Amino acid sequence: MKKVIFYLFLSFITSNLSAQGLDKSYKTFDLALSGGGTGFSSALSFTQIFGIGKSSRFKIGYGIRVTSHFGGPANFRTAPAKFTSGTSSFTALVSDDIVANIDTFNVKSFQTNALNVSINVQYELSKKLEVGVNIDAIGKTWGNTITGDLISKRNKRKFQDGSISSTSNPETYNLLLVSDSDIGSLNSEVYARYWVTEKIGIRAGFSFQFMELTTQKKVEINSKLNDTWRYKTFMPMVAFCYKL
């Protein structure tokens, strides 16, 4: 239901933007590569951009992005905001971590593929140079089943069956909310783009991604059960763009 509401909202916004006579709109295909630490990713996207105002220097848009991430070894930490921050609302953004509630789920390697709708904001510094940010909003993730181990040095917690090992899969659905309240696998970028020619551009910047795993077994935290674990990564990024 949330997906239906989002797509209807996106269609409404797009139709209203077009009705207002926004100019300098264009579409792009984009291949972004990022890496750092023990992981790397590729992201293929299609984006529709609209210019706003008389000068059209400020631009907004939407897109479709497929991000594939390859990582490991990695420690996924306790994910739900109700455990990490004690709240599942906007206040999770500014709340301190509840360290006693946080464990890690260690995997030797992992791979996720996420298909998301993205939100895009840009500003044109010159005819050749733009700066911008984008972020995934809603979508779906798929990937392989992997096995990992629960690490709970502070509290000596184990899964409900008394073991520390469990199989896991990527969290299926993705949804942008706030901070630790976010769900699934989401990608965001901050960048500068230089148009080498009228059609070909190069972007450079940083990609912030997080991925979630759901374990087959659950661990008890303060009489509540958790089976969701999150990994965050911040990597340098370069992208090659083609304007349609």
Can you tell me the distance from the alpha carbon of 6 to that of 175, in angstroms, rounded to the nearest whole number? 10
Q: How many helices and strands, by DSSP H and E, does the chain display?
A: 2, 13
Is residue 74 within 8 A of residue 106, CB to CB? The reply is yes
Token digits for 114? 């996420």
Can you tell me the distance from the alpha carbon of 27 to that of 196, in angstroms, rounded to the nearest whole number? 16
Give the number of domains in the chain.
1
Name the pTM for this structure: 0.86
Q: Tens digits of per-residue pLDDT, 102-148?
A: 999 999 999 999 999 999 999 999 999 999 999 999 999 999 999 99
Select the more confidently predicted residue: 150 or 3: 150
User: Which residues pair with residue 97 across a beta bridge?
Assistant: none
Q: Is it the case that residue 11 has pLDDT exceeding 70?
A: no
Supply the pLDDT for residue 214: 98
Q: Tens digits of per-residue pLDDT, 166-189?
A: 999 999 999 999 788 899 999 999
Select the more confidently predicted residue: 9 or 220: 220
Residue ranges making up the domain that contains 22: 2-243
Query: Using a CB cutoff of 8 Å and minimum separation of 24, what contacts does 123-129 make?
Result: 123/57, 123/58, 123/59, 124/56, 124/57, 124/58, 124/59, 127/195, 128/194, 128/195, 129/192, 129/193, 129/194, 129/195
Can you tell me the distance from the alpha carbon of 168 to that of 180, in angstroms, rounded to the nearest whole number? 20
Residue 83: Cβ within 10 Å count: 22
Supply the pLDDT for residue 59: 95
Sort strands 104-107 and 110-124 into parallel, antiparallel or unpaired. unpaired
Q: Tens digits of per-residue pLDDT, 30-65?
A: 999 999 988 999 999 999 999 987 778 999 999 999
Report residue 23 CA to chain centroid gap: 29
What are the two backbone dihedrals, phi and then psi, of residue 180, each rounded to the nearest 5 degrees? Answer: -70, -5
Q: Residue 23: which pLDDT band, with cuts at 50, 70 and 90?
A: low
Supply the pLDDT for residue 9: 44
CATH number for 124? 2.40.160.20
Q: Residue 17: which pLDDT band, with cuts at 50, 70 and 90?
A: very low
What are the two backbone dihedrals, phi and then psi, of residue 176, each rounded to the nearest 5 degrees? Answer: -80, 120
